[in-house]
Each structure stands twice: as C-alpha cells, then as structure tokens.
A = this chain, B = another copy of it.
C-alpha cells in the first residue's frame, strides 16, 4: 500500500500509533514546563509545493514565519523562539539574504526571535521553521462547548482568490486583485488575538485548510456539532469584486479556501468584543459534524497525497 492510498490523515493516524503518543495530530503540541506551557509547532515551505521561486523572496520568508506564528496564536500562545532549517540549492546569495530579510521583518512584527537553525544542500529550496511559543493558558481544538457561539477573525476566502489570480499570470492586475494576491503570498498571523483567546476561548485554531475542513477538526476533537450560517460569513470588498468580475460565489471561497490564516474559535456570545474584527458565524451544540445552513457538509481542501 502506498501513502496515496492511505491519505495524509490516515498516515498520521498510523504514525501516532507507532509513536504511542496522545499529543500528535493537532497543529501545535502543548507541553507543560514549570508553571507555563510550551507550544511547539513546525511548518515547511517547499519550492513548487508551497511557493514558486518567482515569488518575492521577502514574501516567502515572511510567510514561512507567519504560518508558524499562526499555529501558536491559534492555540492562544505568544511566539517566542524559532529555528530555521534551510534546504538550499546553489542560489544567488542575494536571494537568500532577501528571504531572511522577510524572516527578520516577520520576527520583529510578531515579537519572536530566530535563535538557530541548520543549512543543508538540496536540489530544491525549502524553509522549515520550528517555533516555540509559550502560554499560561493554551487553548486547543478540544474544548468547544454546546451553547458556545462560533467566531472567525477578519475575512475569509481572500487567499484562495489571490492564488487563482496568481495562476492566471496576467500581464497587469487591478489594485483589488493585487490586494488579494498580497493576502495569499504575505498573510499576517492574528497576533492581536492572543490575549482574547487566552482569556475567553473554549476552543481555538487557525484556519489553514479552509473553514469547513478546520471546523471538522474542531468538531471531532471537541465531540460537538458545529453549525455555520453562510449568510454571516465575512467577505472582504476585494473578494466581492473578484467574485463579481469572474462570476464566482464568495461563499465557496470562504467555506473551502485554504491559507487564510484567520482564526476559528468558540466561546459564549457575551464575550464578543466589538472592538475586534470578529464575526459570529454559527453555534456549537451536542452532536457531531459540520453543518452549513442546516446541511451536513463534508470537508474539502488541499490534499497532499
């Protein structure tokens, strides 16, 4: 049997058994140390799989840090220390310096620090980031309670639209299109939500596989049913213009688009904070599965195998 027969999640289940670990499977591991928790996560950016060499190297460096920070933030942690394992073809030094310029900008922005790493020769460029975060109260996928409301930060679907625009390889783009492309190649992790999540969230994660796919992760882990009201999904004006121009349905982008790096979290409605860009999109109840407008929807999203 090949890995493609088993699928990514099937494979992870098997490896979990071999490693006899209960901790594996979420996007961020929590380990107790002293009075606090360490949050450990890793995410890789591989040439031709996650980015193209033609992307601005600063953006690739920025994104490599951001996607890891997003995992830590999604677990209500502050990002602290990163290691970078760099796989390098014999590129121009300038390229690597610009890449690290983006890494440095991201670390300054998020308040974390690269403390070490490793360089290996490789025929394709890869940037593997390991990030350690800390939290006095980490929040995982497993704590959603019936009666909670379901919230998301920011707007959804922009990254998928940006990726599609990139793939069109147009000679020129309108401003709103460039904004969407930016959101794909240079996403920002929602570091501004850490305190809110630490204080109020029962369950939390970042949205990287797409809203429905990630809501399934949360639903399974918490053992609850999640209802999403599609009329409440937050769209950016840029996504709406995109959908108008290319005759697409924005709901499709918001529900199934990956790599938004927004947050999905649950807590009682009263804890909603009107000064943050959070939107109540649904509710948690006893049961299982993810429902959109009352209809059970199976996960869809990026598949590695």
Q: Which residues of A contact B (CB under 8 A)?
A: 1-6, 8, 11-12, 14-15, 18-21, 23-29, 31, 33-36, 38, 40-44, 46, 49-50, 80-81, 83-85, 87-88, 90-94, 96-97, 100-101, 103-104, 107, 113-124, 126, 128, 130, 132, 134, 304-305
Contact A90 B305 (CB under 8 A): yes
- Are B83's CB and A29's CB within 8 A? yes
Residues of B within 8 A of A46 (CB): 87, 120, 122
What are 23 A-B contacts defined by CB distance under 8 Å? A2-B90, A3-B93, A14-B97, A15-B100, A18-B104, A19-B100, A19-B104, A19-B114, A25-B116, A29-B81, A31-B81, A34-B36, A40-B130, A43-B85, A44-B87, A46-B122, A49-B121, A85-B130, A87-B126, A119-B304, A126-B126, A128-B128, A132-B132
How many identical subunits does the complex contain? Answer: 2
In the assembled complex, the Cα of A103 lies from the Cα of B15 at a distance in Å of 10
Given A46-B87, A93-B3: A21 touches B121 (CB 8 Å cut-off): no
Q: Output the nearest chain B residue to A47 by Cβ-Cβ distance.
A: B122
Indicate if the CB atoms of B1 and A120 lie closer than 8 Å. Answer: no
Q: Which residues of B contact A11 (CB under 8 A)?
A: 93, 96, 119
B contact residues around A21 at 8 Å (CB): 113-115
Q: Lowest 3 A-B CB distances belong to which pairs? A: A29-B115, A130-B130, A29-B116
Contact partner of A83 (CB less than 8 A), chosen from B92, B121, B130, is B130
